[in-house]
């Protein structure tokens, strides 16, 4: 354990190891008298997954130190969108350390080209490209043991009726599933908002993604529900999670507006986490967001925010 991480834990666990009561680390924050104080190193109720490097100012630049730091802070998952692009030796290094600590590795980005039409097309060359991309993802899964691969179906085609595009996506996903299923690797489709971040994409909503997954009808074709994107696109977060529950395999987190840590925007993450926990969810909730204060104190505040939102009654 490096000095920075040891010092952080020492501060965070001072006077009863109380993360919410450690002003030297987290600042002077007032809480209701009846609010429970949680041990800084106690595992969270759910598998919130920081990105590798999220707490770099505390953990340094080393990949393994970053994973260890997150474990020490009570996280039992990580995610790495760029896992596929890392050198093979780094992929193996990450996987080995995660396995040693008993942590779960969340979805990596397998295919997300926002600039082109792809899944919406009924073209042999497009299908061949997608199938080959899936094969690359399977090799990453073999090295790392990761269970989920994130896919964004790309842009919509203004010259083709939306229903035909939907049918083409369903067909193309079935071909992709033929590659993924024998390897036990699950595609997670991510609907993204077009109002603020990604104009022009085809897949935007949870009901839309749900209908596609039901039509594909394969156990390795599911949804990653990005709470940030869905708050912008449609809101109604918990009812939509409930309605699509059978097809949701992972979550992405981020508050709105700002796409920073929970408690910085309008989303009631404490209630959302309580609902997800009540469904006995055991997958990863990827912390795919920035932080409102990009300093050491800001990193500590991110951890504190998750402690606050994870303090729901069970």
C-alpha distances out from residue 256 to 17, 227, 263, 269, 290, Å: 31, 9, 10, 11, 11
Closest CA to 143 of 92, 83, 105: 92
Q: Which residue has the higher pLDDT, 12 or 151?
A: 151
Find the mean pLDDT for residues 288-301. Answer: 97
Q: Is the pLDDT of residue 209 over 50?
A: yes
CATH topology of domain 40-309: TIM Barrel (3.20.20)
Q: For the segment 87-97, what is each residue's pLDDT rounded down to a tens digit?
A: 999 999 999 99
Q: Tell me: cis bond preceding 208? Omega within 30 of 0 counts.
A: no
Find the mean pLDDT for residues 27-37. Answer: 39
Among 97, 104, 190, 261, the active-site one is 190
Among 97, 104, 288, 299, the active-site one is 288
Catalytic site residue 158?
no
Radius of gyration of the chain (CA): 20
Catalytic site residue 234?
no
Q: What is the pTM of this model?
A: 0.90
Closest CA to 156 of 115, 202, 198, 222: 202
Residue ranges covered by each domain of the chain: 40-309
List Cβ<8 Å contacts ≥24 apart for 55-64: 55/299, 55/302, 55/303, 57/295, 57/296, 57/299, 58/4, 58/5, 58/8, 58/296, 58/299, 58/300, 59/2, 59/4, 59/5, 60/2, 60/4, 63/90, 63/93, 63/94, 63/97, 64/93, 64/97
């Amino acid at each position: 354990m490096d000095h920075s991480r040891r010092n952080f834990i020492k501060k965070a666990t001072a006077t009863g190891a109380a993360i919410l009561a450690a002003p030297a680390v987290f600042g002077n924050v007032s809480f209701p008298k009846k609010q429970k104080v949680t041990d800084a190193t106690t595992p969270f109720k759910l598998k919130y997954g920081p990105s590798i490097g999220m707490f770099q100012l505390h953990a340094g630049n080393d990949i393994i130190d970053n994973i260890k730091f997150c474990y020490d802070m009570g996280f039992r998952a990580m995610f790495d969108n760029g896992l596929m692009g890392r050198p093979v030796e780094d992929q193996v290094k990450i996987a080995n350390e995660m396995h040693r600590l008993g942590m779960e590795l969340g979805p990596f980005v397998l295919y997300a080209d926002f600039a082109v039409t792809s899944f919406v097309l009924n073209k042999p060359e497009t299908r061949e490209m997608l199938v080959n991309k899936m094969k690359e993802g399977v090799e990453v899964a073999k090295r790392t043991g990761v269970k989920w691969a994130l896919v964004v179906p790309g842009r919509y085609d203004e010259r083709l009726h939306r229903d035909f595009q939907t049918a083409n996506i369903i067909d193309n996903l079935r071909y992709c599933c033929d590659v993924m299923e024998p390897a036990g690797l699950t595609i997670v489709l991510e609907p993204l908002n077009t109002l603020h971040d990604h104009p022009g994409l085809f897949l935007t909503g949870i009901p839309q993604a749900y209908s596609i997954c039901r039509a594909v009808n394969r156990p390795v074709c599911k949804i990653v529900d990005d709470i940030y994107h869905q708050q912008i696109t449609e809101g109604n977060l918990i009812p939509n999670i409930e309605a699509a529950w059978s097809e949701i395999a992972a979550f992405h987190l981020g508050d709105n507006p700002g796409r920073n840590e929970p408690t910085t925007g309008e989303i009631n993450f404490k209630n959302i986490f309580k609902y997800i926990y009540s469904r006995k969810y055991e997958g990863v909730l990827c912390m795919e967001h920035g932080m409102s204060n990009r300093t050491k104190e800001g990193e500590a505040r991110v951890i504190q925010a998750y402690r606050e939102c994870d303090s729901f009654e069970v």
